[in-house]
Amino acid sequence: MRYWKKYSKKQLKKRIDQALASVVDFQNSKSLGYPVSKLDENVFNTNDTILNEAPLLKSFIANPNNIGCHTLGKSEEAFKGSQELEKEVIRVLASDLFKAEENAYDGYIATGGTEANIQALWIYRNYYQKEYKATLDEMVILASEDTHYSVYKGANLLGLENVSVPVDFERREICVEALESIVAELVSKGKKYVMVISNMATTMFGSVDDPDVYAGVLRKHPLQYRIHIDGAFGGFIYPITHKKSTIHFGNPEVSSITIDAHKMLQAPYGTGVFLCRKGLIENVLTREAQYVDGMDLTLVGSRSGANAIAVWMILFSYGYYGWFEKINTLLLRTEWFCRQLDALEIDYFREPHMNIVTLRSNFVTVDLAHKYGLVPESHDGQNQWYKVIVMDHVEIQDLEKFLNDLQDSLVDKTA
């Protein structure tokens, strides 16, 4: 880990104060041209001494705008401080977590996984249009049936066809034979340009797709393809728990990655991360964005610099080793939970590097699912699965209570 360090509270506070000092100060300077200001002091308590010990609240009040992408070209001068911290976040994630080479990546803090996934599709669509004069009809999105619905939103917005690849019911793995026949059929229908969304932990199962499986099939055809990894949920878990993972920029098949900081990292909402290799993000340059100094390469326009500071604070409060320990604690709890389910002979799916356990619904009564806030796979009466996510707040005692109730309900059933 070259960049992912742990800083003391004092060091964190100092860096944030420095960053805010180089953000345009609406209180004391005369910034006449920006359509922004700090939060309204007539409404919010913006001067409390408590803020001195609360660097994130202070950042929200200073209200910097991290508009644009800061790994490339120039950026707005007015918000340099919070942009610098964002750049450090992107560097840690691209280099340390996903093994990118020095300065071989671009990225920004998007509003969430939805935006980051759509940003990827938008880049590839424009890339195929520019490089190959491809038409929309010649392009297709491929993703497993367990893929997040944001990909359907993206397909709809961008006018692209989306084809679902079936997975094995129990293993939640892509059916390679089905993928092969789907691709052969798409080629015969004139598709030439493919965008793959490969999951690094699906929302419902925590299942992980192997991008090399997609690549292996697509390579046999006269096709161009690019692979985007949707690690919205798994991005802060899987690369940590699976040391031999091949899902990173060291794998030439991987072109871009989504990670959400507002899920596992517990950052405030509005903190998804988009990462890609150099040379791709320029495909979505909006030339008309003339009032923004620097290039506008992002789907979102104005966005909160405080959010970037929040992610920075979390990463550098833990450091890599602190985060590693935290995730491994959750994994131990998940393993404990699975052993208990095994003892009760309950069927479930679990990816061994993830903290999601998805139970077959025939073992779980609707009442029990409600009582413990289990999330069903579908709300339409056809539900076959319920998931448990072992997050920070889910402790063994909580799991134990659930297991006791589950056992009682099983006894009821057989009685």
Ligand X SMILES: *Cc1c(COP(=O)(O)O)cnc(C)c1O
Spatial distance between the Cα atoms of 24 and 77, rounded to a whole number of angstroms = 8
Share in percent of the chain as helix, strand, coil (round to 5): 40, 15, 40
Judged by CB under 6 A, the residue of 203, 245, 256, 283 near ligand X is 203
- Residues in contact with ligand X, shown as a per-residue x/- string from 107 to 146 under the rule CB under 6 A: -----xxx--x-----------------------------
**Residue count, binding to ligand X (CB under 6 A):** 14
DSSP codes joined into one string, 316-385: HHHHHHHHHHHHHHHHHHHHHHHHHHHHTT--EE--TTSSEEEEEGGGS-HHHHHHTTPEES-SSS---E
Contact yes or no for 88/311 (Cβ under 8 A): no
Chain residues 47-106 in contact with ligand X, contact rule CB under 6 A: none
Q: Is 15 or 148 the residue whose CB approaches ligand X more closely?
A: 148
Residue listed under structure tokens 């932990």: 201
Q: Is 82 or 203 the residue whose CB approaches ligand X more closely?
A: 203
Q: Is 19 or 123 the residue whose CB approaches ligand X more closely?
A: 123
Using rule CB under 6 A, residue 351 touches ligand X: no
Shortest separation between residue 324's beta carbon and ligand X, angstroms: 22
Residue 391 DSSP SS3:
coil
Phi, psi of 277 (to 5 degrees): -70, 155
Q: Is 62 or 120 the residue whose CB approaches ligand X more closely?
A: 120
Judged by CB under 6 A, the residue of 138, 253, 260, 296 near ligand X is 260
Q: Which residue is nearest to ligand X (CB)?
A: 113
Q: Is 122 or 363 the residue whose CB approaches ligand X more closely?
A: 122
Q: Is 297 or 354 the residue whose CB approaches ligand X more closely?
A: 354
Q: Is 75 or 202 the residue whose CB approaches ligand X more closely?
A: 202
Q: Is 172 or 192 the residue whose CB approaches ligand X more closely?
A: 172
Burial class (CB in 10 A: 0-12, 13-18, 19+), 226: buried
Using rule CB under 6 A, residue 270 touches ligand X: no
Non-local CB neighbours of 11 within 8 Å, separated by 6+ positions:
none
Judged by CB under 6 A, the residue of 272, 350, 354, 358 near ligand X is 272
Judged by CB under 6 A, the residue of 86, 230, 296, 351 near ligand X is 230
Spatial distance between the Cα atoms of 5 and 384, rounded to a whole number of angstroms = 43
Shortest separation between residue 62's beta carbon and ligand X, angstroms: 25
Judged by CB under 6 A, the residue of 23, 67, 155, 232 near ligand X is 232
> Considering only 165-173, 199-207, 288-296, 311-319, which stretch makes contact with ligand X by CB under 6 A?
199-207
> Considering only 5-13, 176-184, 229-237, 282-290, which stretch makes contact with ligand X by CB under 6 A?
229-237
- Residues in contact with ligand X, shown as a per-residue x/- string from 233 to 252 under the rule CB under 6 A: x-------------------
Contact yes or no for 229/174 (Cβ under 8 A): no
Burial class (CB in 10 A: 0-12, 13-18, 19+), 62: buried
Contact yes or no for 205/356 (Cβ under 8 A): yes
Q: Is 16 or 388 the residue whose CB approaches ligand X more closely?
A: 388
Strands laid side by side in the 254-260 sheet: 105-110, 272-277, 254-260, 224-231, 193-199, 139-144, 161-165
Contact yes or no for 358/348 (Cβ under 8 A): yes
> Considering only 48-56, 196-204, 205-213, 363-371, which stretch makes contact with ligand X by CB under 6 A?
196-204
- Residues in contact with ligand X, shown as a per-residue x/- string from 145 to 184 under the rule CB under 6 A: ---x-x----------------------------------
Spatial distance between the Cα atoms of 352 and 350, rounded to a whole number of angstroms = 6
Spatial distance between the Cα atoms of 279 and 282, rounded to a whole number of angstroms = 6
Residue listed under structure tokens 């095994």: 342
> Considering only 16-24, 198-206, 354-362, 384-392, which stretch makes contact with ligand X by CB under 6 A?
198-206
| Interface residues toward ligand X, by CB under 6 A | 112-114, 117, 148, 150, 199, 202-203, 230, 232-233, 260, 272
